[in-house]
Amino acid sequence: MAKNRNIIDLSIGFSLTQETLSFIKKFFSIDVMGIYYSSALSTDKDSIVLRIENTKQDITTIKQNYFYLYYQDFKENLDNIYSNTDIFTINDFFNPKNLLRKLTGKNIGFEFMVSKLRYLSTSQVGRWFSYMKYFYGLCKRYGHQLIISSGAKNIFELTSSRVINSILDRLEVSSTEYWADLNQWLSRKKRGMIYDSL
Amino acid sequence: MTLSKKKYRYVGIFLSDRLSLNKSTIIEEISGRYLGLFGSIDYNKAHIRIIKINDTPNTIVILKCRLESLTNTLISLSLINLELMVVSISGTLKQLKKKILIFLSYVSENQEGLTSNFRDS
């Protein structure tokens, strides 16, 4: 893996001390971590992406110091979609084609949590793998980003880069391409960035 | 017909205190998930075994599997609802032990900052 490419887990749902952050970097090979607003914040700002629920956009105190993304849990109702959502967290199977087509050009991240799979039956996990293959194809076609996060609520639910690469391998997605795309997507989401098509 | 040497990988797994008291469930859970997801032909090819080594602490388990089945084994391990984490993967037991020692010494050195996370779960 090229050195300038970060391994990213955008959903870690427990508080991170500086020691835990270093531990995750060292033993899980994860460089950038997405944490929730309520989590204790680490001082290592380059490794942290703050996740803010879209309904709480008025939180400004901590936002100023961190790179942040707006997320919302996806519900199959197009009326509830906020215009500046960066990440939709998908918890259930739904027919994604119309939605992804409708949101073309918004470059949204569609996030799936590996931790949820732990509680699914084997047949549901199998269905998830084939659904993900289809979803990835649609993301590519309509210019969105597929995101695989651990969704860890505790340290034992974390997924290492090796495991995510194994999942990508089963999805027949090139891990090099996935990480390059995710890095590029994340850097584009940095607010205030100036884009130059050249 | 040429016979090529089968390659294996050793996977070091760290268990929560609770799980280390009931290690027998690990192989059952992994086998169940592996069989369900990838089938019995693949499972038997994977040749998954728990390796018993005397000088490893109770919170560490070493799993052995065929190299070609490592991806499936890792997926099965990460999709079971048990408090465990893959610490290291290696082609030799000697290297694996080294990595496990590094892990354990790191955890004990940084115990103060880490224990809350290990306990919270």
Domains in chain A with CATH codes: 8-190 (3.20.20)
Q: Kindly report the CATH number assigned to the domain that includes residue B69.
A: 3.30.70.3250
Asked whether the predicted pLDDT for residue A168 surpasses 50, the reply is yes
Asked whether the predicted pLDDT for residue A197 surpasses 80, the reply is no
pLDDT at B2 (0 to 100):
72
| B39: in domain | yes
pLDDT at B13 (0 to 100):
95
- Provide the domain limits for residue B95: 8-120
Q: How far off is chain A from B80, nearest CA to CA, in Å?
A: 5
Q: Could you give the CA distance from residue A60 to residue A113 in angstroms, rounded to a whole number?
A: 27
* Placement of tokens 């899980």 in the chain: A28
Q: Could you give the CA distance from residue B17 to residue B118 in angstroms, rounded to a whole number?
A: 9
**Does B89 contact A162 at a Cβ distance shorter than 8 Å?**
yes
Interface mutation target, options A159, A165, A166, A167, chain B, most CBs of B under 10 Å:
A166
Residues of chain A above pLDDT 70, percent: 83
| B26: in domain | yes
Of residues A192 and B70, the one with the higher pLDDT is B70
pLDDT at A59 (0 to 100):
64
Asked whether the predicted pLDDT for residue A194 surpasses 60, the reply is no
| B2: in domain | no
Residue from the list A14, A18, A118 with its beta carbon closest to the beta carbon of B80: A118
pLDDT at A55 (0 to 100):
79
pLDDT at B115 (0 to 100):
64
Residues of chain B with pLDDT under 50: 120
Per-residue confidence at A191, pLDDT binned at 50, 70, 90? Answer: low
Average pLDDT over residues A37-63: 72
| ipTM of the complex as predicted | 0.88
Per-residue confidence at A159, pLDDT binned at 50, 70, 90? Answer: very high
pLDDT tens digits along A143-156: 999 999 999 999 99
SS3 A123: helix
pLDDT at A75 (0 to 100):
79
pLDDT at A193 (0 to 100):
43
Q: Are A65 and A103 in contact (CB under 8 A)?
A: no
Mean of all residue pLDDT scores within chain B: 90
CA angle B75, B79, B85 (to 5 degrees): 85
| B1: in domain | no
Residue A49, CB-side half-sphere exposure with 13 Å CA sphere: 26
| B88: in domain | yes
Residue B52, CB-side half-sphere exposure with 13 Å CA sphere: 3
| Count of domains forming chain B | 1
Q: How far off is chain B from A153, nearest CA to CA, in Å?
A: 8
Query: pTM score, two decimals?
Result: 0.89
**Does B78 contact A163 at a Cβ distance shorter than 8 Å?**
yes
| B3: in domain | no
Per-residue confidence at A80, pLDDT binned at 50, 70, 90? Answer: low
